[in-house]
Amino acid sequence: MIVVPVDVPGRPYDVVVGDGARHHLAAVLPPGVSRVAVVTQSGIGVDVDPGVEHQVFPIGDGEAAKCLATVEDLCRQWARWGLTRGDAVVAVGGGVVTDVAGFAAAVYHRGVPVVFVPTTLLGQIDAAIGGKTGVNLPEGKNLVGAFWQPSAVLCDTSVLATLPRREVRNGFGELAKYHFLGLDDDGGATTVDDPELPTKVAACVAIKAAVVAADEREAGQRALLNYGHTLGHALEVEGAYDLRHGEAVAIGLVFAARLARALGRIDDDGVTRHDTLVARYDLPTTLPAGADVARLVELMGRDKKAVDGLTFVLDGPEGPEVVRGVDPGVVTAVLGEMP
What does the pLDDT look like over 233-258, one tens digit per residue?
999 888 778 899 999 999 999 999 99
132 is catalytic: yes
Query: If you average pLDDT over residues 291-303, what whole number do you get?
Result: 90
Q: Which of 208, 261, 304, 305 is catalytic?
A: 208
Q: Across residues 133-161, what is the average pLDDT?
A: 93
| Mean pLDDT computed over 266-280 | 94
Annotated catalytic residue within 222, 261, 304, 305? 222
CB count within 10 Å of CB 53 equals 10
57 C-beta neighbours (distance < 10 Å), count: 18
Q: Which of 35, 54, 132, 305 is catalytic?
A: 132
One of 174, 216, 236, 247 is an active-site residue; which one?
174
Whether residue 250 contacts residue 257, with contact meaning beta carbons closer than 8 Å, is answered with no
Q: Is position 170 annotated as part of the catalytic site?
A: no
> Which of 45, 56, 132, 124 lies closest to 90 in space, CA to CA?
56
State the helix-helix crossing angle for 328-337 and 245-262, rounded to 10 degrees.
110
Which letter does DSSP use for residue 110 in this model? G
In sequence order, what DSSP letters do the residues of 199-235 get, joined into one string?
HHHHHHHHHHHHHHHH-TT-SSGGGGGGTTHHHHHHH
> What are the backbone angles phi and psi of residue 147, rounded to the nearest 5°?
-85, 115
In the residue annotation, 66 being an active-site residue is answered as: no
Residue 228 CA to residue 243 CA, distance in Å, equals 14
- Model pLDDT for residues 59-109, shown as the tens digit of each residue: 999 889 999 999 999 999 999 999 999 999 999 999 999 999 999 999 999
CA-wise closest residue to 91 among 52, 117, 69: 117
- Examine the residue annotation and report whether 24 is marked as an active-site residue of this protein: no
Looking at domain 227-337, its CATH class is mainly alpha
Examine the residue annotation and report whether 53 is marked as an active-site residue of this protein: no
> 269: number of CA atoms within 13 Å, CB side?
2
Look at 117-126, 208-217, 293-302, 313-322 and tell me which has the smallest mean pLDDT: 208-217
> What does pLDDT average to over the chain?
91
pLDDT for position 222: 84
Residues across the chain:
339
Question: Please, are residues 30 and 113 in contact by the beta-carbon 8 Å criterion?
Answer: yes
- Give the percent of the chain with pLDDT over 90: 72
Q: Per-residue pLDDT averaged across 213-242, rounded?
A: 86
Cβ count within 10 A of residue 210: 16
**Mean of pLDDT values over 329-333:** 96
Cross-strand partners of 323 = 312
**Residue of 233, 258, 261, 304 marked catalytic:** 233
Location of each CATH 3.40.50.1970 domain in the chain: 2-214
Q: Which of 226, 244, 247, 261 is catalytic?
A: 226
Read off the amino acid at residue 212. V
Looking at residue 332, its amino acid is: T
Give the mean model confidence (pLDDT) for residues 270-282: 93
- Residue 262: CB atoms within 10 A of its CB come to 18
226 is catalytic: yes
Q: Which listed residue (35, 141, 179, 229) is catalytic?
A: 229
Report the pLDDT value the prediction gives residue 307, as an integer from 0 to 100: 63
Q: What is the pLDDT of residue 97?
A: 97
186 pLDDT more than 50? no
Q: Are the C-beta atoms of residues 160 and 232 closer than 8 Å to each other?
A: no
Which helix H or strand E contains 57, and what residues bound it? Answer: strand 53-59
pLDDT at 184 over 70: no
Q: Which of 110-114, 171-175, 308-312 is predicted least confidently?
A: 308-312
CATH 1.20.1090.10: which residues of the chain?
227-337
35 in catalytic set: no
Structurally, at CATH architecture level, domain 2-214 sits in: 3-Layer(aba) Sandwich (3.40)
Instruction: Say how far apart CA 248 and CA 288 lie, in whole Å.
Output: 10
List pLDDT tens digits, range 110-138: 999 999 999 999 999 999 999 999 999 98
Is 208 among the residues known to form the active site? yes
- Of these residues, 35, 54, 66, 245, which one is catalytic? 245
The catalytically annotated residue of 218, 265, 274, 305 is: 218
Residue spans of alpha helices (H) in the chain? 25-28, 68-81, 95-107, 121-122, 165-179, 197-214, 229-238, 245-262, 268-280, 293-300, 328-337
How far apart (Å, rounded) are the C-alpha atoms in residues 257 and 263? 10
Q: What is the DSSP string of 124-172?
A: IIIITSSSEEEEEETTEEEEEEEE---SEEEEEGGGGGGS-HHHHHHHH
Q: What is the pLDDT of residue 217?
A: 80
Query: Is residue 263 scored above 90 in pLDDT?
Result: yes
Q: What share of the chain has pLDDT > 70, as a percent? A: 94
pLDDT recorded at residue 141:
80
Q: Is the pLDDT of residue 183 over 90?
A: no
Inform me whether the pLDDT recorded for 331 exceeds 90. Answer: yes
